[in-house]
Amino acid sequence: MKQLYLIGFMGSGKSTVGQYTSEKLNVEYVDLDMEIERIQRKKIVDIFREEGEETFRTYETETLKAVWDKVLVATGGGVVEREENIRYMKEKGKLIYLKTSFTVIQKRLRRDHSRPLWKDTNQNEALFNKRTTLYEQVADYVIICDDKSLDEIVEEIVNIYTYNGFLSCEE
Ligand code: S3P
């Protein structure tokens, strides 16, 4: 069995795209952030505030490994911060980068307060640029999302899934 991991910056649509794609493909799906919140019984903002980012990253790595049985995984934007996570995902399956411009992300997250690393300063753009380099380095597939509908994005992932023989593959 191979996994498909959706990667990309906060607000790039990983969770929404993941949910729709899993319904279309009828495969087991998990949203990593939601799984962390479920296991820790805490909202991500509270984990960051009370335990700090490093502890969150440790939960993230543990949870990534705990969801080995899911076919499709929507990751958090910072999953690429740890080499260990990249190595693990690369070993297990394919990484699909939902590439979305900073302008679109800024619009989407204008009123967002649920993401501790999305701040009201130009730090956002610096983080975006740093992460973009990482996503591009590690991705097996890049989907340019800006001018595409949800259906179009989902269709591209379905094609990747089918092309890779995930439907019949038992590795
Ligand atoms: C983070 C992204 C968030 C969440 C946490 C940290 C990041 O996930 O994991 O707030 O470091 O970019 P989304 O990408 O789903 O917003």
| 78 CA to centre of ligand 1 in angstroms | 6
Ligand 1 atom 10, closest CA? 115
Predicted confidence pLDDT, tens digits, the chain (171 residues): 589 999 999 999 999 999 999 999 999 999 999 999 999 999 999 999 999 999 999 999 999 999 999 999 999 999 999 999 999 999 999 999 999 999 999 999 998 889 999 987 789 999 999 999 999 999 999 999 999 999 999 999 999 998 876 654 444
Is any atom of ligand 1 closer than 6 Å to the C-beta of 116? yes
Report CA 117 to chain centroid distance, whole Å: 15
CB atoms within 10 A of CB 69: 9
For ligand 1, atom 6, the nearest C-alpha belongs to 78
Nearest CA to ligand 1 atom 3: 76
Centroid of ligand 1 to alpha carbon of 27 (angstroms):
23
Distance from C-alpha of 162 to C-alpha of 80, rounded to nearest angstrom: 25
Q: Is 78 in the pocket of ligand 1 (CB under 6 A)?
A: yes
10 in contact with ligand 1, CB cutoff 6 A: yes
Q: What angle do CA 155, 11, 23 make, to 5 degrees?
A: 35
pLDDT of 7 reads 98
Tokens 């962390």 locate to: 36
| pLDDT for residue 111 | 87
10 CB neighbour count, 10 Å cutoff = 22
CA-proximal residue: ligand 1, atom 9 (nearest): 76
Q: Kindly report the CA angle at 138 between 144 and 146, in degrees rounded to 5?
A: 15
Q: What is the pLDDT of residue 167?
A: 52
Question: For position 169, what pLDDT does the model report?
Answer: 47
The position carrying tokens 């929507």 is 74
Q: Which atom of ligand 1 is nearest to the CA of 53?
A: 6
CA of residue 10 relative to chain centroid, distance: 8
For the beta carbon of residue 114, count every other beta carbon within 10 angstroms.
11
The residue whose CA is least distant from atom 7 of ligand 1 is 78
Determine the Cα–Cα distance for residues 38 and 83; give it in Å rounded to an integer: 25
